[in-house]
C-alpha cells in the first residue's frame, strides 16, 4: 500500500509509520521537524518518504502534498493539546489548538482528497474526549468533537465515491503529548497497543476505532445519559 500519515515524528503517528513500513508498505511520513523525520525514516530506505510542513499553513500543505501519487490510506493524526482554565479563558490557547487539530485537518483534506480513489481509506484522529464534555478540555475536546462530526460527515459524502472514512478515538496513550498531563490517566495504553488496534480497525474497515474498549465503552455509555446527569456525575468525579 501507499500510505500517508501526518504527525509521524513522535507518539502514535511514529509507531504507526514504523509498523506500516516494517510490513513492507511505502509511507509518506509527515511532521514539522525535518531532521527528526529523516532520522526515523533512514532504516527503511526509499519506502519511507519524509515530508516536512506545518498543517496550519494551507499553502505549505498544498505545496508539500499536491504532487503526490494516488494513495491507498491516509491517516490525519497530527495534533496537540492545551488545557483551558475556564475562569481565565485564553482565546489564544483555544485558537492554537483549533488551528492545528481542526484547520490543519481541513488544509490536509483539500490537498489529499483528490489523491483518494474508490477502494482507498481516510482516517481522522480524534479522541474519546469527543464523547463527553470534560472540564479543562474546552479547546481540545471541542476540536475533537468537530473532528468526529467531520469524519462522520465525510464517511457519508466520500463513502458514496467508494472511499472508506473512519474516526479514531483513543483513550489515554503513552506519548510525549500525554506525558504532559498533570492528572491520573486511567487505563493508559502504550503506542504498541494503539498502533495494533488502529491497524486492525483500518484493515477491517471499521468506521469508528475506539480503545481501550473498557474505557471508551464507559465514556460512550455515560454519553447516552441526559446532559443534566452527565453534568452532575462529571462535576462530582472530576471537579471535587
Ligand X SMILES: NC(=O)c1ccc[n+]([C@@H]2O[C@H](COP(=O)([O-])OP(=O)(O)OC[C@H]3O[C@@H](n4cnc5c(N)ncnc54)[C@H](OP(=O)(O)O)[C@@H]3O)[C@@H](O)[C@H]2O)c1
What residues make contact with ligand X under the rule CB under 6 A? 6-13, 31-33, 54-56, 77-81, 100, 104, 125, 127, 170, 172-173, 175-178
Residue closer to ligand X, measured from CB, 32 or 234: 32
Instruction: Select from 162, 240, 153 the least CA-distant residue to 145.
Output: 153
Dihedral of CA atoms 39, 140, 104, 37 in degrees, nearest 10, equals 0
- The answer to whether residues 140 and 82 touch, using CB atoms and an 8 Å cutoff, is yes
Query: In the complex with ligand X, which residue's Cβ is closer, 71 or 194?
Result: 194
- Cell 509498523, residue located: 19
Q: Which is nearer to ligand X, 164 or 210 (CB)?
A: 210
Q: What is the nearest approach in angstroms of ligand X to the Cβ of residue 151?
A: 12
Smallest distance from ligand X to CB 118, Å: 27
Of residues 170 and 212, the one with the C-beta less far from ligand X: 170
**Parallel, antiparallel, or unpaired for β 48-52 and 26-31?**
parallel
**CB of residue 116 vs ligand X: minimum separation in angstroms?**
20
User: CB-based burial of residue 153 (10 Å sphere; 0-12 exposed, 13-18 middle, 19+ buried)?
Assistant: exposed
Between CA 76 and CA 100 the distance in angstroms is 11
> Cβ 30 to ligand X, closest distance in Å?
7
Our CB check for ligand X shows the closer of 134 and 234 to be 134
Sign of the alpha-carbon dihedral angle for 92, 137, 123, 32:
positive
Instruction: Give the separation between CA 118 and CA 21, rounded to whole angstroms.
Output: 23
Enter the C-alpha cell of residue 106.
481541513
CB-nearer residue toward ligand X: 163 or 189: 189
Q: How far is the CB of 161 from ligand X (least distance, A)?
A: 25
Amino acid at each position: 500500500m501507499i500510505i500517508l500519515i501526518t504527525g509521524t515524528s513522535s507518539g502514535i503517528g511514529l509507531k504507526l509509520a514504523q509498523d506500516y513500513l516494517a510490513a513492507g508498505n511505502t509511507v509518506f511520513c509527515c511532521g514539522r521537524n525535518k531532521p527528526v523525520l529523516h532520522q526515523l525514516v533512514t532504516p527503511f530506505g526509499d519506502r519511507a518518504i519524509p515530508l516536512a510542513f506545518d498543517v496550519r499553513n494551507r499553502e505549505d500543505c498544498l505545496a508539500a502534498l499536491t504532487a503526490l501519487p494516488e494513495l491507498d490510506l491516509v491517516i490525519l493524526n497530527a495534533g496537540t493539546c492545551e488545557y483551558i482554565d475556564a475562569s481565565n479563558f485564553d482565546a489564544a490557547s483555544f485558537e492554537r489548538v483549533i488551528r492545528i487539530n481542526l484547520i490543519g485537518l481541513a488544509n490536509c483534506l483539500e490537498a489529499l482528497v483528490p489523491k483518494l480513489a474508490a477502494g482507498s481509506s481516510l482516517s481522522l484522529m480524534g479522541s474519546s474526549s469527543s464523547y463527553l464534555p470534560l472540564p479543562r478540555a474546552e479547546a481540545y475536546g471541542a476540536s475533537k468533537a468537530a473532528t468526529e462530526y467531520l469524519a462522520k460527515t465525510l464517511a457519508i459524502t466520500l463513502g458514496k465515491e467508494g472511499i472508506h472514512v473512519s474516526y479514531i478515538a483513543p483513550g489515554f496513550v503513552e506519548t510525549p503529548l500525554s506525558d504532559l498531563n498533570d492528572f491520573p490517566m486511567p487505563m493508559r495504553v502504550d503506542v504498541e497497543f494503539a498502533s495494533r488496534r488502529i491497524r486492525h480497525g483500518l484493515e477491517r474497515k471499521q468506521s469508528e476505532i475506539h480503545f481501550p474498549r473498557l474505557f471508551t465503552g464507559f465514556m460512550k455509555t455515560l454519553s447516552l445519559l441526559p446532559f443534566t446527569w452527565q453534568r452532575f456525575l462529571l462535576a462530582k468525579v472530576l471537579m471535587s
